[in-house]
Amino acid sequence: MKNFFGTVLFTLAGTDKTALIWCGAVLLTMLILAVLHHKWKYDEQRLKRWKNLCFIPFLITSVHYFIYVSGADGFLSNYTPMYLISVLAFIPMMCAEQEKGYRIFGTVTAVLSVVFALRFCLISNQLHNFSRKSYTGSFHALVRELDRSYVIRDWKEIDFYALEDKYMPMVEEAERKKDKAMFGDAVTLFCSELHDGHVEVSTHYDRNKYHSVFELTDYGLSMVQLDNGDIIAVCTEDEVKAVGIDDGTVITKWDGRPAAEAAEEMIPAEGAPVESNGRRLALITLSATGGETVEVTFIDKSGREQTAVLSAIENEHTYDEMYSLFFRWPEHLTEFLKSNFSTRMLDDKCGYMQLSAETSGGSVRDELAFYTGESKWAKEMFRRKLRRLKEQGMEYLVIDLRNNMGGSGEIGNALVSLLTDEELCGECLGIRRNGGYVKVSERIIRGDGEFSDLKVVALTNLNCVSAGDSAARCLSKLPNVTLAGITDPNGSGQMIGGRCVLSKSIVSVSYPVQLVLDETGAPYNDTRADGVSRDPVEVHIPLDYDAAMKIFRDGEDYELEWAVDYLEEGGGHNK
């Protein structure tokens, strides 16, 4: 029960207090109307006046709409429960003279009002509509709001006003030129400096008219850095092969600059929480950066350094191809999510389980798990699936967390509980108080132990975020589980609940306002200013020349093959 009330406190701490006041005003008006009807129901004149008063809740919400929602219509769903309460006032109004009818519909109205109010309290995010402000005015308002409510500002040592000084000139130039893309780019670059996978920037403008600096150019190749430091070309097209650059060719310079140095400058713009992950992404972006032509310096087959000029290729998608091959990013997210929780045997001894996201597909079940602190349905679902694999001969298991989109941490905890016979802390919900972090609810994983003797490799990558990141960390605590990957998990653990819509709804920014802590009381998984992963892989899957060729030339799932070999060769013993 303590955890339940702590979870409620956590939820309320992340809600919009101003919105709750407005909702309270609507509910208070509804209560006053009920009292007045009881007093005036036998007075015909006053009852007519009472019917007119029933419009007040609707008027209150109409004023709220024009102040807080108009111009940012995406906010409407957040406030729908409150607006529905105001509409409910018209139901008893229609049967005000009928004692029995009013009693029935008045009771229904009261019950529904309480239900909608509770729902509103639980989903009321911190939404801020700056759409009617100018570019510069809305950007400054964003900075001020992030400085107030971004939940791990101190943890990441962010000086928002220093960042505002850095990017305001770009915003001012965008305002002078009325360039929507430049405005969006300025906000994106500003937010990338937070290095938080839960800070999301969305832009809305005509991309045929306005052009972003983040638009990529395709030259028919991409680049990846091997563990020995070599930067090689991959996913090469025929036009590139014709000048002597093939898959595996070492690239030394890009547009006259050392490739590693040029990529290093792009790391801040990538915004990756973990710096080593940012280096991986920066090289991919560099290979799609330049003008109509780009100079590429490489080592030819004779070992000599050569330079070729590559032209931009229209209608090619080398960047997407490279990304999907390297990180196994799905082409169709819908199909990827359909395979969530799927299991199969990879060979006679090795089982496989995929966790694409930690959700039941039904919000009620997930919300119940959130408030109780455990997901019983998920635990039994995982138990059935693992037993079925055991019946098919499973002796060891690969859990695929790559590209896990997050969701309900209780679902990941349910899987962890079956793989251990011990008790451990999953994550804790917290609030900010007196400049510090206070735990208000703990997610304790109580080991079931049924599969604690199973050797497991959990595969992760830089797209394993939020609840997926949490599952990776919990699994890595177990002596029979090895967390492995070419990259570390994302490094973001807080809960999104804040959103700002900027000038003319060109840009919107979502960010965390609710605090998730680890057992020590520190923010869960989120990196600090040093960019060092707090949930690193325990075994780095080697990326050498042969591995790169398997991934990019042959299209093989090299990481999965590595995991099976690792288990079959005796890896995954107690740590």
**90 and 186: one domain?**
no
* CATH at residue 228: 2.30.42.10
- pLDDT 10s per residue in the chain (575 long)? 667 888 888 888 888 889 999 999 999 999 999 999 989 988 889 989 999 999 999 999 999 999 999 999 889 889 999 999 999 999 988 888 888 888 888 899 999 999 999 888 877 789 999 999 999 999 999 999 999 999 999 999 999 999 999 999 999 999 999 999 999 999 999 999 999 999 999 999 999 999 998 889 999 999 999 999 999 999 999 999 999 999 999 999 999 999 999 999 888 888 999 999 999 999 999 999 989 999 999 999 999 999 999 999 987 789 999 999 999 999 888 888 889 999 999 999 999 999 999 988 766 777 787 888 889 999 999 999 999 999 999 999 999 999 999 999 999 999 999 999 999 999 999 998 887 899 999 999 999 999 999 999 999 999 999 999 999 999 999 999 999 999 999 999 999 999 999 999 999 999 999 999 999 999 999 999 999 999 999 999 999 999 999 999 999 999 999 999 999 998 765 55
Per-residue HEC secondary structure of 24-51 comes to HHHHHHHHHHHHHHHHHCCCHHHHHHHH
**267 and 381: one domain?**
no
E-state strands within 401-542: 423-433, 436-446, 455-459, 481-485, 495-501, 507-517, 539-540
The residues near 395 (Cβ < 8 Å, ≥ 6 apart) are 349, 350, 454, 455
> Dihedral of CA 360/366/368/373: which sign?
positive
**310 and 379: one domain?**
no
> Does a structural domain hold residue 514?
no
Write out the H or E segment, with its range, that includes residue 343. Answer: strand 343-345
How far, in Å, CA of 319 to CA of 506, rounded? 26
Chain-centre distance for alpha carbon 140: 25
Report whether 491 contacts 535 (CB < 8 A): yes
**553 and 453: one domain?**
yes
> Does a structural domain hold residue 517?
no
Q: What is the pLDDT of residue 572?
A: 65
Q: What are the Cα distances from residue 193, in Å, to 80, 264, 273, 499, 527? A: 34, 15, 9, 17, 13
Query: Taking the C-alpha atoms of 36, 42, 44 and 46 in order, what is their torsion angle to the nearest 10 degrees?
Result: -20
**357 and 386: one domain?**
yes
Q: What is the pLDDT of residue 274?
A: 97
**286 and 337: one domain?**
no
CA-wise closest residue to 61 among 14, 12, 24: 24
**110 and 159: one domain?**
no
E-state strands within 143-242: 200-203, 222-225, 231-234
> Does a structural domain hold residue 344?
yes
The label of the residue with tokens 């975020």 reads 465
**How many CB atoms lie under 10 A from the CB of residue 237?**
17
> Does a structural domain hold residue 36?
yes
**283 and 358: one domain?**
no
**309 and 386: one domain?**
no
- Count of domains for the chain: 4
> Does a structural domain hold residue 507?
no
Q: Against a cut of 0.85, is the pTM above it? A: yes
Quote the domain boundaries for residue 252: 222-316
**280 and 180: one domain?**
no
Q: Euclidean distance between the first and final Cα of the chain, in Å?
A: 35
Helix 17-40 × helix 44-53 angle, to 10°: 170
**282 and 340: one domain?**
no
> Does a structural domain hold residue 510?
no
Amino acid in position 269: A
* CATH at residue 428: 3.90.226.10
**How many CB atoms lie under 10 A from the CB of residue 331?**
9
**535 and 446: one domain?**
yes
Task: Let me know how many helices (H) and strands (E) the chain has, helices first.
Answer: 22, 18
> Does a structural domain hold residue 321?
no
> Does a structural domain hold residue 430?
yes
CA-wise closest residue to 113 among 46, 61, 53: 61
Q: At which of 124, 148, 163 does a domain end?
A: 124
